[in-house]
Amino acid sequence: MGMSGGELIEYRPLSEEYAYTFGGRAAVRRVRPGDLVSLYTEDCFGGVVRDVTDLPSAVCNFPYLNPVTGPFHVEGAEPGDTLALHFVEIAPARDWAVTTTLPHFGALTGTHTTATLQEPLEERVWKYEVDAAAGTVRYRASRSDFTVELPLDPMHGTVGVAPAAGEAKLTITPDAHGGNMDTPELRAGVTVYLGVNVDGALFAIGDGHCRQGEGEVTGAAVEAAMNTVVAVDLIKGVGTPWPRLESDGHLMSTGSARPLEDAFRISQHDLVTWTAGLTGLDTLDAYQLVAQAGQAPVGNVVDTNYTMVAKVAKEYLGGPVAYDGVHERLRALGRRYLSGR
């Protein structure tokens, strides 16, 4: 198992082991490049919202939301390197999932920063049935008998490393270190690249979603505990300014900021400069190509920073190889793991 004798490390946190910050926490395990890590993540509510009567304001312990599993110390990782985390599998751990409106959270309400004097929205919980075999989640309206099946499309809202310079950021915050980006693009089969800021990188993962609309407009997705397998690798001496994603067909850059146009600018700027480097195109030529060939899938427009993704098909770039082909290698590793178990 693994790339070069890599191990399979299994880890299920005890309830007191969850982290609520990136940074400021000691590692729960040490892993090596080439290892596979099989881990369990709790949902963003810490698993205490279990039915439509469990209002978060009553059952959650604010601000201790969005627990992450980790951090994991990656041996050999140093500032200036890039950590590659390939998501081999993201599997819902239960046959239900929950979501909610929150009184001062979400895109269509005043919040603690978009401060208004209006009455808050009603806090309400919805519970979804998860049918992993059928590949669906079932929505049920709370005030009528309307119901519909939506495709199961598991993802992690939160993945990141420790920030630089002694910072510790709440796990609800997305930024250059990763964190709560809440992009549906972060699904199985995708490799995430994160710039390393501290020795060991100290990555952590959480906030599984059975599916999420673009923007996560209510502030919560179809929230679920997950059994997740990631393959770990390290690109030495190559930095990554903002989290990047690679799928079989696409390169993606993320940006997390406010206002939303700055998240867009960061993501597009990174994709332009990244692809210019990969293709040898002059910067304005890369800008031009991304402008006509690119997509801009929205991550979240609700968190403490908003997240945008800039995305381009590799075929429109002449099929460049990023990070010396680590995605293809981890993808193959993941397939071997899945077929071999």
178 CB-near residues (< 8 Å, 6+ apart) = 22, 158, 159, 160, 161, 192, 194, 203, 243
Rule CB under 8 A: say whether 20 interacts with a copy of itself.
yes
Q: Using the 8-state DSSP alphabet, how is residue 109 labeled?
A: S
Please report how close the Cβ of residue 71 comes to a copy of itself at its closest, in angstroms: 13
Rule CB under 8 A: say whether 321 interacts with a copy of itself.
no
Rule CB under 8 A: say whether 265 interacts with a copy of itself.
yes
Q: Which stretch binds a copy of itself (CB under 8 A): 70-78, 232-240, 243-251, 276-284?
A: 276-284
Q: Which stretch binds a copy of itself (CB under 8 A): 37-45, 84-92, 117-125, 330-338?
A: 117-125
Contact 83, 69 (CB under 8 A): no
Rule CB under 8 A: say whether 107 interacts with a copy of itself.
yes
Rule CB under 8 A: say whether 237 interacts with a copy of itself.
no
Q: Which of residues 143-162 bind a copy of itself (CB under 8 A)?
A: 143-144, 146, 148, 150
Instruction: Pick from 8, 58, 134, 141 the residue near a copy of itself by CB under 8 A.
Output: 141
What 262-267 contacts at long range (C-beta under 8 Å, 24+ apart), as own/partner pairs, is 263/299, 263/305, 263/306, 263/307, 263/308, 264/296, 264/308, 264/310, 266/242, 266/308, 267/242, 267/296, 267/308, 267/309, 267/310
Residue listed under structure tokens 């460049």: 320
Two tokens, residue 257: 């900021």
Q: Which of residues 180-219 bind a copy of itself (CB under 8 A)?
A: 211-218
Quote the crossing angle between the two packed helices 283-293 and 260-279, to the nearest 10°.
120
Rule CB under 8 A: say whether 27 interacts with a copy of itself.
no
Instruction: Pick from 167, 189, 199, 227 the residue near a copy of itself by CB under 8 A.
Output: 167
Please report how close the Cβ of residue 40 comes to a copy of itself at its closest, in angstroms: 22
Instruction: Pick from 2, 18, 21, 185 the residue near a copy of itself by CB under 8 A.
Output: 21
Rule CB under 8 A: say whether 53 interacts with a copy of itself.
no
| Alpha-carbon gap, residue 320 to 326, rounded angstroms | 12
Please report how close the Cβ of residue 338 comes to a copy of itself at its closest, in angstroms: 27
In 3-state terms, what secondary structure has residue 7?
Answer: coil
Rule CB under 8 A: say whether 9 interacts with a copy of itself.
no
Beta carbon nearer to a copy of itself, 57 or 114:
114
Provide the b/e sequence for 3-23 (b: ≥16 CB within 10 Å): beebeebeeebeeeebbbbbb
Rule CB under 8 A: say whether 264 interacts with a copy of itself.
yes
Rule CB under 8 A: say whether 96 interacts with a copy of itself.
no
Stated length of the chain: 341
Instruction: Pick from 294, 326, 331, 334 the residue near a copy of itself by CB under 8 A.
Output: 294
Strand order in the sheet with 155-160: 29-31, 68-74, 201-209, 155-160, 178-179, 174-175
Rule CB under 8 A: say whether 50 interacts with a copy of itself.
no
Beta carbon nearer to a copy of itself, 48 or 164:
164
Rule CB under 8 A: say whether 118 interacts with a copy of itself.
yes
Rule CB under 8 A: say whether 119 interacts with a copy of itself.
yes
